[in-house]
């Protein structure tokens, strides 16, 4: 066995253990989400200094005061979107590109926004190397969304705002779901479903995310 082959076997084993112990054991059931979490190589999205911690149950720093989210939270937020394939998905906060890759595995077209140009550039390169052709990137203020590409069947924000940005609600299609953390000192992960009769909000669980930065 070559050294590279041995490393890939090691990473695959750690990834499988991550899914079983951190994700399935905590109630994630959507088979498409579990398949995506088993496939996306999280170690390709962390800095060299954090490589040995790539599959641990915690967020990790990626520079510019940003983090790659805890694997369980990535899986949980993705499951809450209830994706079935083919949706146009807006991601606010590209970060490392890990959540982006998980969304891309769900079979839709992903439009991802990042305010920090260096992070967007690195994520674009990583995802290209991994063969993801269904992702479009932009650098800009996530609070404004991506109006030229709206409406979206699902929107996921990986940074916390004090209140729901109105532009994101406006760009959500009827029947679509917006999942985002709200709050400053105390944050809650919220899901907002757009219906013909109005928006329905649901509190999912307490979380801790970096703040959504203004442009």
Peptide bond into 151 cis (omega under 30): yes
Report whether 167 contacts 151 (CB < 8 A): no
Give pLDDT, residue 5: 73
160 has catalytic annotation: no
CA distance 48 to 44: 9
Residue 43 corresponds to which tokens in the numbers above?
């170690």
SS3 179: strand
pLDDT of 13: 97
pLDDT at 16: 97
Per-residue pLDDT of the chain (215 residues; tens, 9 = 90+): 456 678 889 999 999 999 999 999 999 999 999 999 999 999 999 999 999 999 999 999 999 889 999 999 999 999 999 999 999 999 999 999 999 999 999 988 999 999 999 999 999 999 999 999 999 999 999 999 999 999 999 999 998 999 999 999 999 999 999 999 999 889 999 999 999 999 999 999 999 888 887 65
The rounded distance, in Å, linking the Cα atoms of 89 and 177 is 10
Query: 70 with 121: CB under 8 angstroms?
Result: no
**What is the value of pTM for the model shown?**
0.94
Q: How far apart are CA 85 and CA 100, in angstroms?
A: 15
Residue-level length of the chain: 215
Per-residue pLDDT, 130:
97
Tokens representing 53 are 């911690």
* Beta-ladder partners of 111: 90, 136
DSSP-derived pairing of the beta strands 60-63 and 66-68: antiparallel
- Which entry of 21, 50, 69, 120 is annotated as an active-site residue? 69
């Amino acid at each position: 066995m070559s050294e590279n082959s041995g490393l890939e076997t090691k990473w695959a084993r750690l990834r499988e253990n991550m899914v079983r112990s951190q994700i399935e054991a905590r109630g994630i059931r959507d088979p498409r989400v579990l398949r995506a979490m088993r496939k996306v190589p999280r170690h390709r999205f962390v800095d060299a200094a954090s490589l040995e911690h790539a599959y641990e149950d915690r967020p990790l720093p990626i520079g510019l005061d940003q983090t790659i989210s805890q694997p369980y939270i990535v899986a949980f937020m993705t499951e809450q979107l209830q994706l079935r394939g083919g949706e146009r998905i807006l991601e606010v906060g590209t970060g490392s590109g890990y959540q982006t890759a998980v969304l891309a595995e769900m079979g839709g077209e992903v439009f991802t926004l990042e305010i920090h140009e260096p992070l967007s550039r690195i994520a674009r390169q990583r995802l290209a190397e991994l063969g993801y052709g269904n992702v479009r990137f932009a650098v800009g203020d996530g609070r404004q969304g991506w109006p030229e590409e709206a409406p979206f069947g699902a929107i996921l924000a990986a940074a916390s705002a004090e209140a729901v940005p109105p532009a994101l609600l406006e760009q959500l299609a009827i029947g679509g779901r917006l999942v985002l953390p709200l709050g400053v000192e105390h944050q809650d992960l919220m899901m907002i479903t757009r219906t013909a009769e109005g928006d329905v909000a649901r509190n999912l669980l307490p979380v801790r995310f970096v703040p959504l930065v203004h442009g």
